[in-house]
Amino acid sequence: MGIRLIIYFLILFLGFIIGHKDKINDGLYRKINILQNVCLYVLLFIMGIRIGLDDSVISSFLSIGYMAVVITLITLIVTIGIVRLLSKLILNRKGEDKIEL
């Protein structure tokens, strides 16, 4: 995990440097944006394939899937609630989607 983390950071950093140096004009940036969308959907599609190919995931989902769905949904709702509360307390956030400092 450590090496993976370093690789992710280095790739982000490389992209950051190129973006920061204004090497990319708006026309090229729009094309990159389209490529970014295509990559994203392909990645999600492949992630789906991994789940679909794993027979144990599908079969166990049919037997204990309802428990997994209940725990996941409750966890997500509680997490969103706690983080929302903390963000209002700590960031004094006024807007809905902007991070007010």
Partner 1 sequence: MSFNILLSVLLGIGFGYFILPSGFLEYTGTIIDIGLCVLLFFVGMDLGRQKDFFQNIKELGYKMIFVPFGVIIGGVLGGIIGGMVLHIPLGEAAAVSSGLGWYTLSSIMLADYSNELSVLAFLVNVLREVIALIAIPFVAKHIGFIESVSMCGATAMDTSLPVISKFTDSNTTVISFVTGVISTISVPVILPIILNILGG
Q: Does the protein bind partner 1 through residue 29 (CB under 8 A)?
A: yes
From candidates 6, 11, 30, 31, binder to partner 1 by CB under 8 A: 11
Q: Does the protein bind partner 1 through residue 28 (CB under 8 A)?
A: no
Size of the site for partner 1 (CB under 8 A): 74
C-alpha 78/C-alpha 4 separation (Å) is 30
Give every CB contact of residue 57 below 8 A, 6+ residues apart in sequence: 51
Rg of the chain over all Cα atoms, to the nearest angstrom: 20
| Minimum distance, C-beta of residue 38 to partner 1, in the bound complex (Å) | 10
Q: Does the protein bind partner 1 through residue 6 (CB under 8 A)?
A: no
